[in-house]
Structure 1
Amino acid sequence: MTLSAPGSAHLVLAQNVVHLDQAAAVFEAMLEGWRRQQSARFLRAGTIGARLRLIRRLEAFSGLYPWQWAPADGEAFIDHLRSTTVEAVSTARSYEIDISLFMEYLLDPRYGWAGVCADQFGDVPQAIFHEGNSIQHKLDYEGDPRRRPLSYDEIQALFDAADARSGTIQGRGVKGALGAARDAAVLKTIYAFGLRRTEASRLDLVDLRRNSQAPQFGGFGVVMVRYGKAPKGAPPKRRTVLLVPEMDWVVETLDQWLTEIRPRFSPPDRHPALWVTERGGRLSPRSINEAFVAARDDARLDRSLNLHCLRHSAVTHWTEFGYPARFVQEQVGHAHASTTSIYTHVSNEYRNKLLKASLMGRLGDHWDGAPT
């Protein structure tokens, strides 16, 4: 018995049925087949839905069906997006990749769509993006170059501004002082442990642990991240983030949050979340982002800096503290060291320190910069 691959044409096309609009029916069957194929790979529903909507957008833009598409149609679509809604190169490339995946699915003989199109419409699908008309991936990082790690002085200014917001709000006699104190604690925790905003939002009380090798940190020596960024088709990645001695100031921050501030939001047994709102719910990633923006603007820092820059800052500063690249990679949960290197932008002072150490090692007393 021959088993058919999920998404095969004969599994989704109604047999012996004549449709009023046969072309539209085949197009819908193609989309359903592709949905099944991706679902069989355990891709997230959100990823699948976004890809299907993209294909529908291309069909609506071109006025043609996939077996009629040519490279010129793909080029016109991307050009239209570039002139209207899409500015980031990485976004445009992801669209090209998703469309190419759909065309590869249609051309794969295991699914039988080429034969269906040839029999019913006298035409077959073709690849519409190729080396000559697609965006080439030449750079490791293509984001806004103004988004960078914060310097130590900028980190201090940001946290000072975040701390000051609570007192300022309290002085005005309006609500929000406790929320501002919480926001300051969240931002400090994100930096100290190199977290993403969603990871910080999804932390529960039980995710704060002791580190038997660093008992001086009490119950804050380890953060268990259970909702890390997942590769496509995989569940959330888990990792263990260790508190490093250079960031031990966050122990006082977390202790104050748990013993003095959080109980005024919600009884400990009411909600498992580490970070809760005034109404006793879980603090959202969006709210964390808004907290960063407010503190950044109060500190009069560059408005191009975003919350993710705190994670970049942690990676850079851990590196400057002298921690091995592999340790830093494990801390932030990167599968590849090259990803971590993109995050790392060490200061000139640190680079000069390494340079001096190297020169001293090679030249010793013959180096002009050696101390006398």
Structure 2
Amino acid sequence: MSAVVDMPGAAHLVLADGVVHLDPEPAVLEAMLEGWALQQRTRFLNWESTIRPRIALVRRLTRFTNEYPWQWDPAEVEAFFDHLRTRRPGRPLAVSTARNYQNDLRLFFDYITDTRYGWPSMCNERFGRAPVQLLHEWNTITHTSEYEGAAERRPLAYDEVQTLFDAADGRVGEIRARRRKGSLAALRDAIVLKTVYAFGLRRQEACGLDLCDLRRNPRVADYGRFGAIFVRYGKASKGGPPKRRSVLTVPEMDWIVGVLDQYVSEVRPAFMPGKHPAFWITERRDRMSLRRLNEAFETARQAADLPPELDLHSLRHSYVTHLIEFGYPEKFVQDQVGHAYASTTAIYSHVSDEYRNRLLRRSLQARHGDLWGQET
């Protein structure tokens, strides 16, 4: 048996010696969660995106079972996931989400059953029962597919992208025609949606842009300061800092140059941002939030009468798909969107039948000559 050491999150470091709690079970649970959070912070995991949701998940399981971690058994954890699957009719729990929950709980069980942290001996001493690992290969979801998202989720077709942008632009005109407030914000929303598509950005990447992130591309001087954008808040690996990359403006998307020029020279100054560095400014002279960006897409999607399963991330899927259809090499596309692996880029691409038929036609002509397909 491993000896208890002064590791961050150890029981004897988060539970005060000699203190008698009137209600010991909740006190020990809170100490467990505090210790687990500390253990994760020492690994440089992010509080908002990683640690806090994990802590909240353990609390949900505690409320569901009305018991404490050292009292749980596999049947209760399995009942919890069955509850999550059935609690919202018509909105089933995604397989990928369920697996993430199971992985997070497995990490929690690893922490409280590790003898080096002292929780097994402490629980045995106080409650006569030690926590055990409850999630194993036989009662967790098996990863059998690269992509496990909703089947309905897909990139937008070219005409759907145009319809979405037309709807966003149309909202600006409607607000102005009614002489109501909000036309400036609606114009900003329309431009940010176009930017997300034109550079294949994630939500956090778009909202994290600053004015100084505009870049020139010496190879394409005509694009001026809009030849590329520097992404500083790319998706991070666990425990690592946000990944950075430059996203070049491609010729097929060069219409974004004029759009961004209008925003920088006319729209953004109208918000009177002062010295605020954020590229996307709100009416309160603050940075646009992730929630506001989602709302901008949802408003435009509803106005365009597009399918409800489409979301903001579908624009990123569209960007990947359309670059491939434009003929760009997969490595170029991978670098543009910041994927560590080519397999991830492949999951994002859903080329159209028209594009595949063009490839087929090109292959047949190469094999049979230019006379292929002509009537004889």
TM-score by length of 1: 0.91
Write the distance in 2 (CA, Å) between the matches of 1:188 and 1:96.
37
Aligned residue in 1 for 2:37: 35
Tell me if the contact between 1:207 and 1:224 (Cα under 8 Å) persists in the aligned partners.
yes
Evaluate the alpha carbon distance shift between residue 292 and residue 58 of structure 1 in structure 2; reply closer, same or farther with a 3 A threshold.
Answer: closer
Matches within 5 A, 1:135-150: 135-150=141-156
Q: Identify the match of residue 14 of structure 2 among 2, 12, 15.
A: 12
User: SS of 1:102's equivalent?
Assistant: helix
Write the distance in 2 (CA, Å) between the matches of 1:89 and 1:251.
40
Does residue 76 of the first structure (1) align with residue 82 of the second (2)? no
Q: CA RMSD in A?
A: 2.4
Deviations 1:308-355 (A, max 9, x none): 111110010011111111211111112222222221101111112222
Aligned residue in 1 for 2:356: 351
Aligned residue in 1 for 2:46: 44
Write the distance in 2 (CA, Å) between the matches of 1:150 and 1:131.
37
Aligned residue in 2 for 1:220: 226
Tell me if the contact between 1:312 and 1:343 (Cα under 8 Å) persists in the aligned partners.
yes
Query: Which is further off, 116-125 or 222-231?
Result: 116-125
User: SS of 1:226's equivalent?
Assistant: strand
Deviations 1:36-72 (A, max 9, x none): 2111111112222222222222223223322222111
Write the distance in 2 (CA, Å) between the matches of 1:228 and 1:185.
20
Matches within 5 A, 1:316-335: 316-335=321-340
Q: Identify the match of residue 134 of structure 2 among 128, 132, 141.
A: 128
Aligned residue in 2 for 1:233: 239
Write the distance in 2 (CA, Å) between the matches of 1:111 and 1:306.
43
What code does the residue aligned with 1:72 have? A
Query: Which is further off, 177-186 or 147-156?
Result: 177-186
Evaluate the alpha carbon distance shift between residue 8 and residue 278 of structure 1 in structure 2; reply closer, same or farther with a 3 A threshold.
Answer: closer
Does residue 245 of the first structure (1) align with residue 247 of the second (2)? no
What code does the residue aligned with 1:42 have? F
Aligned residue in 2 for 1:194: 200
What code does the residue aligned with 1:352 have? N
Query: Which is further off, 281-290 or 202-211?
Result: 281-290
Tell me if the contact between 2:5 and 2:117 (Cα under 8 Å) persists in the aligned partners.
no
* 1:286 Cα offset (Å): 2.1
Write the distance in 2 (CA, Å) between the matches of 1:264 and 1:60.
49
Q: Identify the match of residue 165 of structure 1 among 152, 155, 171.
A: 171
Tell me if the contact between 1:359 and 1:367 (Cα under 8 Å) persists in the aligned partners.
no
Evaluate the alpha carbon distance shift between residue 3 and residue 87 of structure 1 in structure 2; reply closer, same or farther with a 3 A threshold.
Answer: closer
* 1:251 Cα offset (Å): 0.5
Q: Identify the match of residue 278 of structure 2 among 258, 265, 273.
A: 273
Aligned residue in 1 for 2:268: 262
Evaluate the alpha carbon distance shift between residue 123 and residue 156 of structure 1 in structure 2; reply closer, same or farther with a 3 A threshold.
Answer: same
Tell me if the contact between 1:364 and 1:370 (Cα under 8 Å) persists in the aligned partners.
no
Tell me if the contact between 2:168 and 2:189 (Cα under 8 Å) persists in the aligned partners.
yes
What code does the residue aligned with 2:17 have? Q
* 1:229 Cα offset (Å): 2.2
Matches within 5 A, 1:91-102: 91-102=97-108
Evaluate the alpha carbon distance shift between residue 17 and residue 290 of structure 1 in structure 2; reply closer, same or farther with a 3 A threshold.
Answer: closer
Does residue 304 of the first structure (1) align with residue 306 of the second (2)? no
Q: Identify the match of residue 53 of structure 1 among 45, 51, 56.
A: 56
Write the distance in 2 (CA, Å) between the matches of 1:297 and 1:20.
55
Does residue 340 of the first structure (1) align with residue 345 of the second (2)? yes
What code does the residue aligned with 1:369 have? G
Tell me if the contact between 1:360 and 1:370 (Cα under 8 Å) persists in the aligned partners.
no
